[in-house]
Amino acid sequence: MPLNFQDVGVVVLAASVFLFLKRKNKEKYALPPSPKGRLPLLGHALQMPTSHGWFAFERWGKELNSDIIYLDAAGMGIIVINSYQMVKDLFDSRSAIYSGRSSFTMVNELMGYDWTMPTLPYNSKWKSQRRLFSKYFSASNTPAYHPRVREFTRLMLPKLLASPEDFITHIKHMVGAAVISMAYGMPIRAKNDPNIKIAQDSLDQVLEAFIPGRYLVDTIPWMKYLPKWLPGTGFFEDARRGRETMNRLLDMPFADAERHIANGTARPSLVSMALEEIRDMEDPKQIQDAILELKEVASVFFGAGYDTTHATITNFILAMTLFPEIQAKARKELDTVVGSDRLPDLSDEEKLPYLRAVLKEVVRWRPVSGIGLPHLSTEDDVYNGYYIPKNTLIIPNQRGMLFDPKIYPNPEEFSPERFLSPDGLSHNQEVRDPQTIAFGFGRRMCPGFHIALSQLFLSAACILATFEISKAKDEEGNVIEPPLDVAAGITSHSLPFKCVIKPRSQKTKELIQSAAADYEA
């Protein structure tokens, strides 16, 4: 039965009352406290840190005596959270409205990375990509990733033996080769493998574009409509190069993988296993969509884990350089549990509580994701008496949480013992595991964190078992102290540093060569 005018009037009146009450309800709650210096139109845009943002966020939190702060960046609402419990309350307990992502004009629109799992909004495409990855690389499916982690770790050791001064290069190649192998199943041996190079080029361009303040078009999106000949529009050329790299990243390694599969030289991988199922599909459109999704997930595999994993392993080398007494203690545990007749393996991890504590402390002491990618609120909300508007960026200050003195006393100190029980045989359950912070939160938590942790553990264990690490000296015999600062960027890389990495004995040299020979034949 059609509505009459009276019915329409009732509906309009009810809607008006609802909106009025909703607006009045918002007025009861204030936004979280903000730093001073907010300007008309620009807000806090000129105060937004362009590097090492976690320090500014910590400082503002202390000045305002609040673990939650609000920033207005030229009309864009940003909330920074310095409290682990607050982040858990929002990203876990209220994940339905705090799992979104904002669209980044430069990366998503101009460079074309509007398909990557880390930057996708919480939608059906994101869920489908996540399911595809988890189907083949769940934490419980260790046969899918443990063998590759073991192989490429053992292949790295002879490189460290031959040119220890290039340790960062060797670590990068180990992590990149393992990830490419798991994703595409191609043999990766050459130092300058083109598939690793294209993945690295893509990652470098994206991470550069994500640096806050790097491109004004992210703050003023309408600039994307400006003529390309105008001064100040050089970002268009960067975007063009980025889009070219993105297209090569999607197509080049996938085409190589298909050739190896056709030639019978491919190893089991995400691509080979998924293609077997795609071949059983009959609908051409379904096949086309499935192949595109497979290309996207395989491409993201590299970027999502490579940068943070090799940075963390490098931080482990830095810690061992700076703290020889901790290095010696971890090595003694290894010698006791593993012995000297074989290399450590992933099955040894549970029997090495001190080394595990060392690695937890590495993750806490040198967090490679100081703030990570912001979440986006998809609905209005009220939390702890504060109003959080829809479409607000929510930045978890991970570095601030990992240096919270209430949770980690003397946070600047490198102390693995903080994670051990009084008897030193297990994890101290009263101290928060930093891995629950370092890999993200809620539904956006890194899906491949277990692979990264496996690479971190085995590389650390094998390096300690076979090498001794110490500070380098200059030509005059003076000790060279490694710098403790980190490079600016989304990922907090240690600044380049020198150290001495030498084999423990002739026996360990032979052990390294013997273990690697099993994979080089």
Residue ranges for the binding site for heme? 446
pLDDT at 27: 61
Alpha helices in 323-423 (DSSP H): 324-338, 353-365, 398-402
Domain residue spans of the chain:
33-520
Find all residues with CB under 8 Å of 20, minimum gap 6, and list them: none
Angstrom distance (rounded) from CA 409 to CA 425? 21
Q: Burial code of 419-444, b = ≥16 C-beta within 10 A, e = fewer?
A: bbeeeeeeeeeebbebeebbbbbbbb
What are the tens digits of pLDDT across the range 338-391?
A: 999 999 999 999 999 999 999 999 999 999 888 878 899 999 999 999 999 999
pLDDT at 189: 64
Amino acid at 362: V
Angstrom distance (rounded) from CA 420 to CA 430? 10
Q: Which two tokens stand for residue 48?
A: 């937004």
Residue ranges for the binding site? 446
Q: Which two tokens stand for residue 281?
A: 């599909």
Secondary structure of residue 459 in the 3-state scheme: helix
Angstrom distance (rounded) from CA 211 to CA 224? 18
pTM of the model: 0.90
pLDDT at 329: 97
What are the tens digits of pLDDT across the range 170-195?
A: 999 999 999 999 999 987 766 778 88
Amino acid at 415: S
Residue with tokens 């090799």: 310
What are the tens digits of pLDDT across the range 112-165?
A: 999 999 889 999 999 999 999 999 999 999 999 999 999 999 999 999 999 999
pLDDT at 449: 92
Across the chain, mean pLDDT equals: 89
Share of the chain above pLDDT 90, in %: 70
Secondary structure of residue 178 in the 3-state scheme: helix
CATH architecture type of domain 33-520: Orthogonal Bundle (1.10)
